[in-house]
Amino acid sequence: MANTGTWWMRLVDLSHPVETGMQVFPGDPPVRTELAATVPQDGFQVSGLHLGTHSGTHVDAPLHTVDGGAPVDTLDLLRLLGPARIVRVAGLKKTDTIRWTDVEAQLEEVAPGDIVLFHTGWSRYFDTGAYLQHPVIEVLIAERLVAAGVTVIGVDTLNPDPTPGAGGVLDLPVHSVILGAGGAILENLTNLDAVTWPNPVVSALPLKLRGLDGSPVRAVALEL
């Protein structure tokens, strides 16, 4: 939306609302909010918030999958605020794999430091069982991006890697490549279809959670 007096022309919120009972990665702490004080009773309102570090729209720090990796409070914020490339992949079905050949043409001019976001449209299934059966990214894409100097990627799904069902084996090759290179991964993005202008700037800043492996973010795309 145009907003007179601001330094941007349009802003799109790329974040899911955080609320009690929202969908999380299987086995992660549930999200719960509760009133601790109210205006009628106490003269002010305060709420309690219980959630995991990977709840809602969030960033994975290297520590998430790399033993001894960097925690979220040490991430360079400038890497999470900058030019973005939105890679649009349409017509995907459950558990489809996005391959390098599907996206190569959209990544020809990717530059070091770009934030690369994959728009699959799967965020429409958030809070349903279908959201767990999301498309995944071929590890070759992650390898090519790291080689090009890209260390921050994002997806509008629960995970760039497969999300296992109950008792399934967890395999995280894209995490291993991106986080192993000291990068970061944004997950559970939404509204990428509303970013209709070229060369958006994306901001996805985490809370300064000392020594932890990830953090919810308020991700936005800006037209400058």
Q: Which of 188, 192, 218, 215 is nearest to 24 (CA)?
A: 188
- Active-site position among 64, 119, 134, 175: 64
64 a catalytic residue: yes
Name every residue whose Cβ is closer than 8 Å to that of residue 114 and which is 6 or more positions away in sequence.
82, 83, 84, 85, 150
CA 210 to CA 73: how far, in whole Å? 5
Beta carbons of 42 and 54 less than 8 angstroms apart: no
| Other Cβ atoms closer than 10 A to 71 | 18
CA 2 to CA 11: how far, in whole Å? 8
Write the DSSP string, 105-118: GGGTT--TT-EEEE
Beta strands in the chain (DSSP E): 10-13, 32-37, 46-50, 58-60, 81-88, 97-98, 115-119, 136-137, 152-155, 184-187, 201-203, 214-216, 220-223
Tokens 């941007």 belong to: 8
Catalytic residues: 64
